[in-house]
Amino acid sequence: MKQSTNGTTQTLNKHTLSVLVSYNLNALSRIIGIFSGKGFEIDSISFGSGKQSDLARITITTHGDVQIIEQINKQLNKIIDVVKVNDLTYDSFVERELALIKVTATRSRRSEIMQIAQVFRAKVIDISPEKLTIEVTGNRDKVNAFIGMLDPFGVTEIARTGSVALKREFDGNV
Amino acid sequence: MAQAKTQSLDSAETDKVQTTPEPAVLNGAELLIRTLEDIDVDTIFGYPGGAVLPIYDALFDVHDINHVLIRHEQAGTHAADGYARATGKPGVVLVTSGPGGTNTVTGIATAAMDSIPMVVFTGQVPTDLIGNDAFQEADIVGITRPITKHNYLVKDVNNLEQVIREAFHVATSGRPGPVLVDLPKDMLNTECHYSGLKKISIPSYKPTKEGHSTQIAKAAKLLSEAEKPLIYAGGGAVLGEAWEELTAMAERLNIPVTTTLMGLGGFPESKPQSVGMLGMHGTYYANMAMTECDVLLAVGARFDDRVTGRLDGFSPHSKKIHIDIDPSNIGKNVPVDIPIVGDVKKVLPAIDQQTTKPEIDDWWDTIHKWKREHPLKVPESEDTIKPQLMIEKISEYTNGEAIVVTDVGQHQMWAAQHYTYNYPRSFLSSGGLGTMGYGFPAALGAAFGCPDRPVVCITGDGGFQMTVYELATAVEYEVPLKIAIMNNQCLGMVRQWQELFFDKRYSHSILKKGNPDFVKLAESYGAVGLRATNPKEMDEVLEQAMNINDRPVVMDFQVEEHENCYPMVPAGAALNEMVEGDE
């Protein structure tokens, strides 16, 4: 973790950044390079096309104190190919992550696992005599909680997309 | 230049084609040269090789672009860097694929750290071979990504002209920096059209130039009410060509000005408002003024660790105003009270206009007292050449009007301290990256950019040897460059740190045994070599050197070996905790 240079200790906050960028791999590499080269953290990153085919939307979740987040923001904005950086944390926003989890499920435990899956509104998408593969969607905490619940049964493999997020249009104020 | 090709394409209409002044069809290499001509590139520092042969062929008949054949690609990038710093125009480099590209890395990183506009063209293996580990293939776009402001791999020749123009636009606008364009060989041989498009607009790239008016008003108010104001000018004042605005403001308001290493020349040092350079080897009075001031106006500076010393002791009593064209510089190392994102050339006059002259006579009394009691010292000696005296003599023999280009180390700091800089773009030095080997080729580049100004390279016996082979280039092009080697037979700054902080254990810092005879070395290239071992000889050598105008002169000044550079802020100390050395 990069220390704040002004000596103050501030609580580490999670931030979700939505970055609109030209659709090319040099741009993606530059974005990741900012994090690795300058000692910032990436908790998750997702990359996909946005509304315009020549632009990609990258969603990055990261953490750090106010000064670090400000630097991340500024450094991302400096990249020529970056069109816009939105720190959604300051807005109301919706965030989702998808995970596929392969869990050991012998006949005797199978229904218990499926009950847990039901609570999380997760879906079984593959089944074999020894294993279940379950798809779950939600924010990061929910996905973490689900994986935590399955852990005692023996999780053998996990694939996560990382968060994707958009600003909420209606924040409830009438 | 594409005449022959056009003829063969359209032989039935030979006559018609010949009367067309500008053939529409040309190959990528010709398009590159054509576009460079249109952008008014007058000098290219380059080295040929397989992948760029089509470009060199296109260059063969071109007369309005001067191609300088350097002897190593690293030196080529330093030369382009020196050219850019001296002229303000972007430096242009042309090298081949693979090792040609990788050799430019140090020069590009040097330019990036000091925000120097530069465009580097690298050859690349043909697109269908990329990724095959082809001969002389290197992923130069990947390698240079962290050290370029932007870079391009051209995959479609129809984008080539746009990319070239964008590269120059990006390199020279906003906070300048190096841009690399990677050119696969098939792109250079493919036919394309030259459009002559002029307007370049990148929707995602719009640097802010005008400062925010509310912030400007706040800054003016703060300065008007200041009791101990200080202007701290960095490289941005030079790169942003704001020296006139800065001088006008400081003189009208009578506010002291300190400059960083990169800011030297941005404010004339002979003006009474100048307190010289600050930082690790800055003047006592500049560092004290920085520590004691109550309002600090930072102009295109970035609060580098060599300037601030220990952060919690840095200018602890001041409200800080920071003008910078790069938002990421503001608040990066030191919290700022009034950030102003914008072009210093535009923001400074706006602040000046709204500021009333503050009453600061007491502040000046304090500063004058510091200046009287702690001046920069030049130790006296009749037998040996003191390094400080060497710099003062060079200042004297060039009337303070030369472009001084340094390498990195003790001589760099002495050159910064003891030469009086009154003109912008006159002190060129690798400040951010601290690249040894930079000085000589950068001086060469500056000489190509400013043939009417005297150029002096002040270097060390260590750094000079890193790029000494460029003597060949200097001799070939008859560059009347003066190279003054501060020869102390060791890596002076390393030796100084070992003396002060490592119990005088001089581990691998003494060069004496292997050093060449620099006079003979110069002569073997066809340059003039001169040597001085005492102050009297130094005068004679300088006198002689200044009158040689048809080739480079190497002056081997054998200086006092154990001289240390003071004042010095030791690593980890606050700016006012200077070591001033022996009396």
In a mutational test of the B interface, the residue from A38, A72, A78, A83 whose CB has the highest number of chain B CBs within 10 Å is: A78
**Which of B378, B536, B552, B579 shows the shortest CA–CA distance to B481?**
B552
The alpha-carbon gap from A37 to the nearest alpha carbon of chain B, in Å, equals 8
- Cβ of A148 under 8 Å from any chain B Cβ? no
Contacts of B326 in chain A (CB under 8 A): 78
- Look-up of token digits 């972007």: B90
C-alpha distances in angstroms, B343 versus A70, B89, B326? Answer: 21, 17, 9
Strands (E), chain A: 13-22, 44-49, 55-64, 82-87, 93-104, 123-127, 131-138, 155-160, 164-167
Predicted confidence at residue B582, as pLDDT, reads 67
- Cβ of B153 under 8 Å from any chain A Cβ? yes
Domains and CATH numbers, chain B: 3-193 (3.40.50.970), 213-373 (3.40.50.1220), 387-558 (3.40.50.970)
Q: Please work out, in degrees rounded to the nearest 5, the angle formed at the alpha carbon of residue A25 by the alpha carbons of A141 and B54.
A: 170
Chain length of chain B: 583
User: Residue B331 — left, alpha, or beta (φ > 0 → left; ψ -120 to 50 → alpha)?
Assistant: left
CB-nearest partner of A70 from B146, B312, B331: B331
User: What is the average pLDDT across B427-448?
Assistant: 98
Two domains, one topology: A13-90 and A94-167: yes
- Look-up of token digits 């003891």: B418
Q: Is B486 helix (H, G, I), strand (E, B) or coil?
A: strand
**Token output for B223:** 């300065």
DSSP structure class, residue B124:
E
Query: B64-120: per-residue pLDDT in tens?
Result: 999 999 999 999 999 999 999 999 999 999 999 999 999 999 999 999 999 999 999
**Token output for B109:** 């990183």
Query: A86-99: per-residue pLDDT in tens?
Result: 999 988 999 999 99
- Cβ of B208 under 8 Å from any chain A Cβ? no
Q: Is A55 helix (H, G, I), strand (E, B) or coil?
A: strand
Predicted confidence at residue A1, as pLDDT, reads 39
* pTM flag (> 0.80): yes
Q: How far apart are CA B458 and CA B485, in angstroms?
A: 6
CATH superfamily of the A13-90 domain: ACT domain (3.30.70.260)
User: What is the average pLDDT across B473-492?
Assistant: 98
User: Residue B318 — left, alpha, or beta (φ > 0 → left; ψ -120 to 50 → alpha)?
Assistant: beta
Check: CB of residue A132 under 8 Å from CB of residue A157. Answer: no
Check: CB of residue B583 under 8 Å from CB of residue B566. Answer: no
User: What is the average pLDDT across A126-145?
Assistant: 95
Residue spans of the domains in chain A: they are 13-90, 94-167
Nearest-Cα residue of chain B relative to residue A21: B204
**Is 2.30.110.10 the CATH number for A94-167?**
no
| Residues of B involved in catalysis | 73, 135-136, 185, 493
Q: How far apart are CA B42 and CA B317, in angstroms?
A: 49
Q: Following DSSP, what letter does each residue of B438-468 receive, concatenated?
A: -HHHHHHHHHHH-TTS-EEEEEEHHHHHHSG
Other CB atoms within 10 Å distance of the CB of residue B488: 26
Q: How far apart are CA B187 and CA B28, in angstroms?
A: 6
Give B265's pLDDT tier (boundaries 50, 70, 90).
very high
Contacts of B142 in chain A (CB under 8 A): 29
10 Å CB burial of residue B16 (0-12, 13-18, 19+) is exposed
Predicted confidence at residue A4, as pLDDT, reads 42
- Mean pLDDT (chain A) is 90
B178 prior amide bond cis, ω within 30: no
**Token output for B55:** 């470009």
